[in-house]
Structure 1
């Protein structure tokens, strides 16, 4: 069996994602589609609106064959580390290709751009440093540096092109036997905040859900029926859809009880930011207030959100060393019959543990996954919290 990989968050899974899955199967002619999915917290520094188990169920209902978890440490990072973790996880499962959605829609410009970057890498690094020293954010500095070395084949101001380019770089560096593929992204821009039509961004869908506290007609038109049911069932049972705002009391507590020295140990707290955080928390009555008080041109919204996730999950700078090491296991979240058959056929060939039970693995990277899952459950009631963590110790979802 041949497998292709996709890199997803499904926060939540919408009609644009269905298109991606369908076109991936058509483009790659794969026997098995494997999704590596972020767990409790996501790349832009946000909690998933519903837990990874419910999102896994929606992936399987959307015809993904096997869902595995992207280790938490890689899931909440900038594009290069996020891509490294995702690509290495899929490489551990011996996928032959990785297919991603992009505004560009064809793979050749990504390959040409990567060749340019490789030829001018030393120049790129020095140019990037110079833009950072001028006070630009990392994303803006990267975009300007790519322009400066002559990358013009793809528009690296578009969010999915940026992430897709990171995937191509990671494939070339960590898993060159994998073939990168891309399809045209049909949904709205990743950052769009309002729902327009039936193909909407996950950002706009979440914003609508949180604003109204229910699945509105407008939101339901952008979602498969099974996603709407999963969202409603989670809210009915857990009494919550997760957002950073509901973690604010815990963030406030952690900042109020931490010294500057302790905060400096947290990943992302650099350049004296600990003092800015401690001043800001004293005058902030909500997470929204806190973000607006701390944000500057250099400290982007996404960078700060990631920092607060690191604070919530107690990810320290010393943990960052694990980002440089290969992903050393694969955690299975769910599968259908095809996914089960694929694992059965290939299990003797895998070089790392492919685990379905917590007791099967002792790994420092996996320990961080468990810490993140516990932090994610903070907003739930006591009984729901215990029940939800108990689910962590149970077998994967079978569909």
Structure 2
């Protein structure tokens, strides 16, 4: 059985994701589609709109055969580390190929860019360093360095686009671990990464869907952008919790954590740097809602995403010391499977190179304990009375 891998967040699973899943399977010629999916906290540094189990349900009902959790350390990391964790897991579970959506829509420019940056790595790293020293944000420094190194080159990827950037990092990660997986990309269609919902379109960005809901829309009103199983899962989640995950919902607990720890302790947490802990503390003292708080912290040097990742680590208590202690994923955490996915695991069990974990009780190393801890804090932020869902929820089976 041939497997293709995809890296996802499904926050929530919408029509664009359905197109990606179907196209990935078709373009790869695979029998099985395996998704590595972020858990309760996401790469942009925010709590998931719906928990990982509901998002797993959406995926399995819409063409994905296996869902594996991307551990917290990688799910909340900058693009290169996010990609490294995800690609390592797809390689370990035996995928023959991996497929990502991109604005580019053609794999050749990515391969050329990777070859070029490999050959000019010293210059590229120096340009990044110089750009950061000039006071611009890390993403802007990467793009500036890339533009310098590729100046005059034809046929390279446009790394000013968010999905292209992530796609390049997937290829870079596969190259660095000497993976035999074949990289594939499909053209992203419909709304762009952060675009608001546009009337007349059936494909909207996950950001647009979330924003429309938080601005007063109902899940039912957003039905045309969601496959039917996603709509049902979100309605079920809303019925259980009465709301969806967001920093606005989590802010009272985040604010308490910030004020309790004080600046001297805040700087211990991963990604908190350059004195921003003082600004975070003062903003938390002054502001009673998250967006007002964030407006006081944002600057040209620190993007919203980077600040939110700092806040995620403050909320979960994830420190610089912990961040530096993890080198690579140590297990495959199974969140759900279809009948075909179960057959694949049975057929490939001798070829899978990391332990397959289906119970939280078996997550006994530091990486696994961190996932359990983060999940418990997500449930607490959602107002759940029972924080043991991590232990009481078996892998979802979609027969």
Q: Report the Cα offset of residue 93 of structure 1.
A: 0.2
CA distance in 2, matches of 1:375, 1:112: 42
CA contact (8 A) 1:209 1:216 kept: no
Which residue, out of 351, 354, 362, partners 2:353?
Answer: 351
Match of 1:366 in 2: 368
Q: RMSD of the alignment, in Å?
A: 1.3
Query: How many residue pairs were aligned?
Result: 394
SS in 2 for 1:221: helix
Offset from partner CA, 1:63-105 (integer Å, 9 cap, x none): 1000000001100111000000100111110111100000100
Relative to 1, partners in 2 of residues 1:369 and 1:134: Cα closer, same or farther, differing over 3 Å? Answer: same
Offset from partner CA, 1:149-173 (integer Å, 9 cap, x none): 0165221111100110111101111
Alignment of 1:153-232 (within 5 A): 153-196=156-199, 197-212=201-216, 214-217=218-221, 219-232=222-235
CA distance in 2, matches of 1:68, 1:108: 28
SS in 2 for 1:378: helix
- Structure 1, unaligned runs of 5 or more: none
Matched, 1:397 2:392: no
SS in 1 for 2:231: helix
Matched, 1:93 2:124: no
Match of 1:113 in 2: 113
CA distance in 2, matches of 1:113, 1:334: 35
Alignment of 1:247-262 (within 5 A): 247-262=250-265
Q: Report the Cα offset of residue 361 of structure 1.
A: 3.1
Q: Report the Cα offset of residue 334 of structure 1.
A: 0.2
SS in 2 for 1:259: helix
CA contact (8 A) 1:87 1:175 kept: no
Match of 1:40 in 2: 40
Offset from partner CA, 1:28-72 (integer Å, 9 cap, x none): 010111000000011101111111001001100011000000001
Match of 1:21 in 2: 21
Match of 2:379 in 1: 377
Match of 2:308 in 1: 305
SS in 2 for 1:180: strand
SS in 2 for 1:33: strand
Q: Report the Cα offset of residue 380 of structure 1.
A: 3.5
SS in 1 for 2:335: strand
Offset from partner CA, 1:333-383 (integer Å, 9 cap, x none): 0001111011101112222210111222311111111111011112344xx
CA distance in 1, matches of 2:159, 2:16: 21
CA distance in 2, matches of 1:44, 1:341: 34
351-360 or 86-95, which moves further after superposition?
A: 351-360
CA distance in 1, matches of 2:158, 2:388: 42
CA distance in 1, matches of 2:362, 2:78: 30
SS in 2 for 1:242: coil
CA distance in 2, matches of 1:296, 1:38: 27
372-381 or 63-72, which moves further after superposition?
A: 372-381
Q: Report the Cα offset of residue 257 of structure 1.
A: 1.0
CA distance in 2, matches of 1:38, 1:128: 28
CA distance in 1, matches of 2:54, 2:393: 14
TM-score by length of 2: 0.96
CA contact (8 A) 1:54 1:230 kept: yes
Q: Report the Cα offset of residue 176 of structure 1.
A: 2.5
SS in 2 for 1:69: strand
Match of 1:8 in 2: 8
SS in 1 for 2:104: coil
CA distance in 1, matches of 2:103, 2:69: 26
Offset from partner CA, 1:182-203 (integer Å, 9 cap, x none): 0101131101133441111000
Which residue, out of 287, 295, 318, partners 1:284?
Answer: 287
Q: Report the Cα offset of residue 216 of structure 1.
A: 4.7
Matched, 1:294 2:293: no
Matched, 1:272 2:267: no
